[in-house]
Chain A
Amino acid sequence: MLWRVSEMNRPATSGFALTKEARIAAHVRAWEQLKRAGPSRLHQGLPFITISREFGCEGRPLAQQLVEFLNTRSRPALPWVAYDRELLDQVATEMHLGRDIVDSMDGRRSNEMSELFDAILNRKVDEAVVFRRLAAVIRSLAMVGHAVIVGRGSSMITQDLKTGLHIRLVAARDWRVSKVAAERGLALPEAGRIVDVGEQQRRKFLSTFFVQDSEHPFHHDLVIENSCFNLTQIAEIVLNALSLRFHEMPLAA
């Protein structure tokens, strides 16, 4: 049968179970490795994954699980690294972490990026320049490949790249409230408020920094109902989709 037995409980490699420092180190290590390999290793079409989610869904744990599975099963030359908001912000704001990545893009790719960003990013807000820099980092990481990027509009920023798999996790509000309550040891009403505020903030983030095209709404490749599957099952579905889309790429890279 196709279905694999769970490989849970393995030590995390580059996921969020690690400290922030260790996660940055994982990123730096991967990047240094790539630089040592020379320019020919850059932009050779390695796949990447973006994960967006409704507040309370398991976007970060899913990214962690995917990175663990991918690094364990395929042992890629360039390890997969998971990037959440915290790590992305850090890479974008610390010059020594972010500059090399963005500068690695050639002129053509840089122009494509500018053209897309001019079309989808809102330039009329205060933080537009800061966000554009973050978007450039996200897109560069995606172009290098073997990145699992959570949130920050990463699916929209990378929508035209052929090597991406865009996932969205959704769940009924009641389920998300129960989950947040259980995880944070809160009463349901309080968890409900956190979910509503969190969701509102995410929507505000997207509507502030992005120009929405109602004529051509962005479609994720897969939208998965988080409450219907456990994390391992979701990871298996995503890995299967990744493998199908990019053939043996995730396993052979």
Chain B
Amino acid sequence: MTKISNGWVGSDMEARIAAHVHAWESVKSLGRARALETYPFITLSREFGCEALPLAQRLVEILNERCRPSFPWTAYDREMLDKVADELNIRRTVVDALDGERRDEMSELFDNIINRKVPDALVVRKLAEVIRSLAIHGHSILIGRGSALVTQDLKTGLRVRLIAPRDWRVLKIGTDRNVTRREAEKIVEEGERQRSNYLATFFVIDQENPFHPDLVIDNSRFNLAQIAEIVFTALGARFGETLVGA
């Protein structure tokens, strides 16, 4: 399920890292003339059991095929983001490209939204730096890990959330993983609990001004191709023809 040139996400970690490196080689070849915070990015958050990963894959295909970007769109799921954050040389390539002003802005935002009082705060901050840097460089689809929150002030982002009724998600997990309904219910419950815990533990949520994604789509009401088209339309509506060949 991997195809390096298109930056697909898939199950093979090595190929996905290769896709990332390939994307970054393309970025480097553009040199200093390439402006930061110019190219759009997408964040995907989702209720457990929704199809964020396949959606990211589909979007990467569509965007790379239709828009023929100067450097490819690449999807980053949780595993991939963790890998980029953990590998010092890759992380440096991504984060060190930011200038001083953008680093200060990042620090200021993170001081406000990342909870510093928990044991793993530094690890999460490091991951957040990677996510934000990938967003600033653009043409990234960032899945989960609070990516919408850590990029909330960037003007070049489209923040999408997938939701679905619990029954639909249970059914989907049951079918996808070939487990009984009861097992699927447990998996959904546990998955949902872990996600809520992650956000509640590591982020300071502003109850007065809750964060709104730009677009929330009910996964049960559209198929994957339709959702990808809706997101593509929203991206086009927001960023217009600048997407093409950018």
With A229-B234, A236-B233, A244-B222: A171-B214 Cβ-Cβ less than 8 Å:
no
Q: Which residues of B contact A224 (CB under 8 A)?
A: 214-216
Q: Which residues of A contact B230 (CB under 8 A)?
A: 222, 237, 240-241, 244
- Are A216 and B165 touching (Cβ within 8 A)? yes
- Are A170 and B238 touching (Cβ within 8 A)? no
Quick one: which of B212-229 are within 8 Å of A by CB? 212-218, 220-222, 226, 229
- Are B238 and A228 touching (Cβ within 8 A)? yes
Q: Which residues of B contact A219 (CB under 8 A)?
A: 163-165, 218, 220-221
| A245 to B240 alpha-carbon distance, docked (Å) | 23
| A233 to B167 alpha-carbon distance, docked (Å) | 32
- Are B212 and A222 touching (Cβ within 8 A)? no
Q: Which residues of B contact A237 (CB under 8 A)?
A: 215, 230, 233-234, 237
Partner of B226, one of A170, A216, A232, A244: A244
- Are A3 and B236 touching (Cβ within 8 A)? yes
| A233 to B220 alpha-carbon distance, docked (Å) | 24
Min distance, Cβ A247 to any Cβ of chain B, angstroms: 10
Min distance, Cβ B130 to any Cβ of chain A, angstroms: 25
21 A-B residue pairings within 8 Å (CB atoms): A1-B66, A1-B241, A1-B244, A2-B233, A3-B237, A172-B212, A219-B163, A219-B218, A219-B220, A221-B217, A221-B218, A221-B222, A222-B215, A223-B213, A223-B215, A224-B214, A228-B238, A233-B237, A240-B230, A244-B226, A245-B221
Q: Which B residues contact A (CB, under 8 angstroms)?
A: 66, 163-165, 167, 209, 212-218, 220-222, 226, 229-230, 232-234, 236-238, 240-241, 244
